[in-house]
Amino acid sequence: MSTRDLPAGNGGPAIDVNKLNKHFGAKHVVKDVSLRVQRGEIFGFLGPNGSGKTTCIRMLCGLLTPDSGSGTCLGADIVKESARIKRQVGYMTQKFSYWDDLTIRENLDFVARLYRMPNRVEAVDRALQDLGLAHRANQLAGTLSGGWKQRLALAACLLHEPQLLLLDEPTAGVDPSARRDFWEELHVLAAKGISVLVSTHYMDEAERCHKLAYIAYGELLAQGTAREVVDSLGLSTCAVTGDNLVELGARLRSAPGVAQTVAFGAALHVSGTDAAALQATLAQLAQAQPALRIEPIDTKLEHAFIYLMGRSSGNEAAPAQERRAQ
């Protein structure tokens, strides 16, 4: 059966790993990470730079061996059967990694040769059609914009009809229109049963994932649907509008019940885990400054991730070479 027609849920989870650990020298980069990604699921992987996302992805696709932990990727053992995994996974790196002095078609043909595909001409033609690249097939890759390079990279990932895509910040530096088109394509692939693990910094992209995990400094801090992640933190949020919001935000950060203040356009969003204490603080504020408008709002995914980033610590000052390794 072609992976293009692979039914969702077929053959158990696409990824099922437990307590993965990885060190680079004395640096503990990934700490007891456990993940389960179902077939046909788009799973978002979020976290600050240097948090261990790339290291996790490389362990899943067989490019790195975990120091400890166990699990499977597409039913294959991630330690003992890494070669088998590599042939069934499409991996898209952070940086465009194809050849600028080859055309789109030549790049895809070269990748097809690497996979020793017997039907490579047909596969390349199909990839060009599916990703809307046919009219640019003879254009040099080095002359492409970021969005078209992204399409080429995705086409190369899909050539061998993988069951799982591992995408490492695939839309970094790409314009909003190209990002939107890219995500439409991911949902089409997921509907065909292809699983996707994608790391991203964009909240609008995170909200388009079926499930999410947030990792900071090697540790998973939250995991689930967007709603489950938000609800698990127990944050209450209010929007404050009025004058001098920057100064007000600085004052409120140390007030009882306030966990964070974040400027959102013309409003200041104030969140806390103790709803009663937060309301008491804001009630006092309303009495002292009656010109301010204060109203409760739904806590969004962005509030949740800002809160998680604020709670995490330890890796920001890591040497540049260590952060790059992650």
Q: What is the mean pLDDT of residues 221-242?
A: 95
- Asked which of 182, 208, 229 is the last residue of a domain, the reply is 229
Convert the pLDDT of each residue in 76-109 to its tens digit.
Answer: 999 999 989 988 899 988 788 899 999 999 999 9
End position of a domain, from candidates 196, 229, 262: 229
**Domain containing residue 176:** 3-229
User: Can you tell me the mean pLDDT for 218-245?
Assistant: 94
- For residues 264-292, average pLDDT: 95
Confirm whether 175 is domain-assigned.
yes
Question: pLDDT for 66-79, tens place per residue?
Answer: 999 999 999 999 99
Residue 6 has pLDDT above 90, yes or no: no
| The pLDDT value given to residue 130 | 87
Looking at the structure, tell me whether residues 249 and 192 fall in a common domain: no
Question: 282 and 203 share a domain?
Answer: no
Q: What is the CATH classification number for the domain harbouring 253?
A: 3.30.70
Q: What was the pLDDT predicted at 8?
A: 38
Residue 142 shares a structural domain with residue 74: yes
Same domain, 84 and 192: yes
Model confidence band, residue 313 (pLDDT cutoffs 50, 70, 90) = low
Instruction: Characterize the bridge pairing of strands 164-168 and 89-92.
Output: parallel
Q: What is the pLDDT of residues 40-76, one digit of tens each?
A: 999 999 988 888 899 999 999 888 999 999 999 999 9
Q: What is the DSSP string of 106-151?
A: HHHHHHHHHTT-TTHHHHHHHHHHHTT-GGGTTSBGGG--HHHHHH
User: Is the CB of residue 300 less than 8 Å from the CB of residue 209?
Assistant: no
Q: What is the mean pLDDT of the chain?
A: 88
Q: What's residue 48's pLDDT?
A: 83
CATH number of the domain where residue 181 is located: 3.40.50.300
Segment 177-203 shows an average pLDDT of: 90
Exposure pattern of 201-228 as b/e (b: 16+ CB <10 Å)? ebbebbebbbbbbbbbbbbbbbbeebee
Q: Is the pLDDT of residue 10 over 60?
A: no
Last residue of a domain, one of 210, 229, 248: 229
Domain count, the chain: 2
Contact 257, 281 (CB under 8 A): yes
User: Residue 320: is its pLDDT beyond 60?
Assistant: no
pLDDT tens string 132-182: 899 999 999 999 988 899 889 999 999 998 999 999 888 877 788 888 888
Same domain membership, residue 141 and residue 284:
no
Residue 323 predicted with pLDDT over 70:
no
Question: pTM of the predicted model, to two decimals?
Answer: 0.84
CA dihedral for 102, 104, 106, 110, sign (positive or negative): positive
